[in-house]
Amino acid sequence: MADHRINDKAEKKAILVISFGTTYPEALKVSIEAIEQRIKEVFATYEVRRAFTSRTVIRILSKRDGFNIDNEREALLRLQKDGYSEVYIQPLHVVPGAEYDKINQLVSEYTRMDCPVFKKIALGRPLLANTGQGETRDDYLTAIAAACKQVPDLEEKEAVVFMGHGGQHPANAAYALLQRKFEEAGYNHIFVYTVEGAPSLQRVMAKLKEKSFSKVLLMPFMLLAGDHALNDMTGPDEDSAQSQLTAAGFQVRSYVHGLGENTFIQDLYIQHLQDAIAAFAGHNVVKNTN
């Protein structure tokens, strides 16, 4: 990785790490804080700060724990007040969905100002963005390679089923593309479904039966193992993925760890941040090496 240890005291530079957030302290520590710490190590002369996009999460943490976290707008206003001239934002979202749109719109507002408050402001891309067209790196292939390093040893006739978030936003299409990329890369035992969109768990179960898998390893394809992983994926209710798969006759086990715990995924977020800084500085964005 490139060394960003610069010696420029004239400009105050900051990195703002933004995620949806979580109300689970352990998930916060092993995923979000772990990535933030890696960023602090690589970008040692930058101020590194945190923001959440979920107002609900922020409100719960404040009321329950007295733990106050800025949202994306508050964080930028605070950086402005503190005199930072360069701000680079790295989102920890998996796809460029609604939460990413909040940040992208805000950055656009700042860049369109007649009298800019920041000399430089740039936004990095989420985990899955570039598809390898032109000279861009294929985020899907690099994320697939990183995620597969987290998969435990599999048993005979065991498939991996990743759970994504999904939703009504057009970015939900990223999960179908992710499935296709897994298949094109030769991972015919790996399947992707989403909690709130497509592909559905029912569709994945049909494929599992068609390909004669009898065992399933459930894993979250999410930044952290929070409410969705502990309830929608592995919860005791009959509509959880684990309960539905078990009722359908599959032997099911779970690996309840978010992508943010994976050091290879952490490296990808750092690379996306490096790309954003390099692109703003007029350097060439890293070419596709896949």
Q: Which of 4, 165, 257, 272 is catalytic?
A: 165
Tell me the C-alpha distance between 173 and 179, whole Å. Answer: 10
Cα 90 → chain centroid: 10
By CB neighbour count within 10 A (0-12 exposed, 13-18 middle, 19+ buried), where does 267 fall?
Answer: middle
DSSP string, 81-134: HTT--EEEEEE--SSSSHHHHHHHHHHHHHHT-SS-SSSEEEE---SS--BS-T
Instruction: Find residue 122's DSSP bridge partners.
Output: 88
Contact 100, 286 (CB under 8 A): no
DSSP string, 174-212: HHHHHHHHHHHTT-TTEEEEESSSSS-HHHHHHHHHHTT
State yes or no: is 257 an active-site residue: no
Tell me the C-alpha distance between 52 and 73, whole Å. Answer: 10
**Measuring CA to CA, which residue among 187, 171, 184 is closest to residue 219?**
187
DSSP code of 136? B
Tell me the C-alpha distance between 258 and 278, whole Å. Answer: 28
Structure tokens at 264: 């290879």
DSSP string, 232-261: IIT-SSTTSHHHHHHHTT-EEEE----GGG
Q: Active-site residue numbers?
A: 165
